[in-house]
Amino acid sequence: MGNCLVSQRSHPSPSTAPTASSAILTPTPGTSSGSSNSAPFSAMSSSDGLSTLSAVAEDTTCVDGEILDARDLMVYSFEDLKTATRNFKPDMVLGEGGFGTVFKGWVDARTLLPSKFGSGMIVAIKKLRSESIQGFEEWESEVRFLGRLSHPNLVKLLGYCSEDEELLLVYEFMQKGSLENHLFRRFAIEPLSWDIRIKIAIGAARGLAFLHSSEKEVIYRDFKASNILLDGNFNAKISDFGLAHLGPSAGNSHVTTRIMGTCGYVAPEYISTGRLYVKSDVYGFGVVLLELLTGLRAFDRRRSSDRHNLVDWTKPLLHNKRKLKSIMDQRIEGQYSWKAAMKTAQLTLQCLEHQPRKRPPMKEVVGILEQIEAMKEKPKESKTTFSTAHSHGHHQPMHPGSPLHPPHHGPAMRGAKPPNLSLVS
């Protein structure tokens, strides 16, 4: 409850399915296309003349990450992934969404070849629903972007399968699941501490800073709690690049595109004009910071009508310490200094500025969060008075957590070809 897709995308019919006319992933020469092979990742100019990421990635190392010249991805057969998931048994399901179902699977840790249950390394395998039209485009975008981008705070794409009507993606397994589930599932999960919340914010900010740091920026476009995944040590990694888009070129400030995103997280300029800025991502980050502070969802229809949208409701309260106390997540009361809380609130307000140019770049956000992390002094007393904010918050249980939280998408396409890998959105 609370996430609704904002979309002005027209859905193509199966007869107009995207094709891989300009670049494809091909198995190693001399082997069968149906077998598991490490395939060279090819990124060439697209047929429509738009630039590719590799064409502008002159700085190959950005914020401790890389835009790779070539990335070897495993090309799996459908039979391979049936083996890895015990024939996609129901007890291997990690989560479900509009895109399809995410299964737990097993591969050899060294070769990444499928292995028997309980042997080797756990992976997460996302299987596209056969009826999902929009899903093909987003599956293709995942391969194009995550196949080329390498950073400690981005989820690793290990391989893919494109066989007849079957489209699958294979990722590293994230033991702790999504930030969304930890923030909003009140039962069975221990509340995230203040220190862990700041750690997660820093990791996610570093991931976004990396995407924004190359000459040809990548605009993530769908930054939200469900797309931030956590490993066993609560290190945050950004997942789900289905809506990612290359940033503006030739001195332009923005790109104009169909409006896609999730209610409560989408920047106001994008909703009103269709203009997508690099700093539209900064707005989404500000919304997640607000969720970390309050423990409340960005958008929740179960709250009273004047509080459906978390930003609209709480933004006026972030300037004042007394008002901030009324909306802070009471589950972390006494774990932080008010100096740290106020500095986080101020950063949140900067990220939520109405005009994109007034929002800080993500590198600056990372620096401020690291300063906040260093503020270890706890409050002398914790006699905080809370308003009815959390009585309207409805920390309702979510669907089962998933290391790869499948997005909610529309109906789907059949007979998809291998992806166009020219990294053009």
Is 108 a known active-site residue?
no
Mind giving me the DSSP string for 147-197? TTEE-TTBPPEEEEEEETTEEEEEEE--TTEEHHHHHH--SSSPPPPHHHH
Distance CA 266, CA 28 (A): 41
- Contact criterion met (CB below 8 Å) for 81 and 35: no
Query: Are β-strands 177-178 and 228-230 bridged in parallel, bridged antiparallel, or unpaired?
Result: antiparallel
Distance CA 210, CA 281 (A): 12
Half-sphere exposure of 178 (CA within 13 A, CB side): 24
Angle, vertex CA 268, rays to CA 263 and CA 269, nearest 5: 135
- Contact criterion met (CB below 8 Å) for 272 and 232: no
Residue 223 DSSP SS3: coil
For tokens 């009361």, name the residue: 333
As a dihedral over the C-alpha atoms of residue 61, residue 235, residue 261, residue 186, rounded to 10 degrees, the angle is -170
Residues 6+ apart with CB under 8 A from 77: 34, 35, 36, 161, 163
Distance CA 225, CA 202 (A): 14
Instruction: Identify the CA nearest to 310 among candidates 330, 334, 286.
Output: 286
Kindly state the tokens that stand for 12: 């193509």
Catalytic residue from among 48, 69, 222, 329? 222
- In order of 84, 225, 298, 341, 395, the CA distances from 407 in angstroms are 23, 12, 16, 31, 20
Residue 246 DSSP SS3: strand
Distance CA 100, CA 3 (A): 17
Active site amino acids: 222
